[in-house]
Amino acid sequence: MSTLIQILLKTYGGTRASLLAALLLSAFSWSCQQGEETIKPIEYNGPSSETYNQVTIYSDSAKMKLKLSAPVEQQLQNGDIIYPKGMYITFYEEETPTTIITAKYGRYDKAKDQYFARNDVVVKNIVKKEQLNTEELFWERQKQSIFTDKFVRITSVDEVVTGVGLTAKQDFSDYTLKQFSGSFVLKQ
């Protein structure tokens, strides 16, 4: 900075150079202060941990009730969990699989204690040989229920039923369509 002041003094003379130097110094000083004030730390909102080939098992009285598996599980700082490459949930009764839920994307909302499945969601009731297809599905663990407001297709051994919106038991043993749109028989 002193070299710049010397050049100004030689070029413009005493008073004029002093004014220019003071102006330059205040401009540099002001710009440095402004830069410090506008810099704000960036808060990280990504996953706090990531687990591969994750498996979670829920049991009651040493009997398996549910198995949740996913290729990737991302834990967020607020307690939510994301399954960006899909999730697979298997419900068991007397240690025998009864229902399977699959989706290409999943998310667990800790505050609501609710799972959300999206993209090619399939619910298969192995016992009744029924299958539900939809694009979005919510599962409430405490209420042991699943629901959606999206289009659904339910395929059984001899019939296909379509509608919009559904509420059901989590094992898909009993369900109610909100808006029935049609059905057709597969076998005669």
Tell me how many degrees the CA angle 89-93-98 measures, rounded to the nearest 5: 50
pTM of the model: 0.73
SS3 73: strand
pLDDT above 60: residue 141: yes
pLDDT of residue 105: 98
pLDDT digits (tens, 9 = 90+) for 47-99: 889 999 999 999 888 889 999 999 999 999 999 999 999 999 999 998 899 99
Q: Which amino acid is at 157?
A: V
pLDDT digits (tens, 9 = 90+) for 111-122: 999 999 999 999
pLDDT of residue 95: 86
Measured CA to CA, the distance from residue 94 to residue 57 in angstroms comes to 15
SS3 182: strand
Measured CA to CA, the distance from residue 168 to residue 120 in angstroms comes to 18
**What burial letters (b/e) apply to 53-62, b meaning 16+ CB within 10 Å?**
ebeeeeeeee
Beta bridge partners of 147: 138, 167
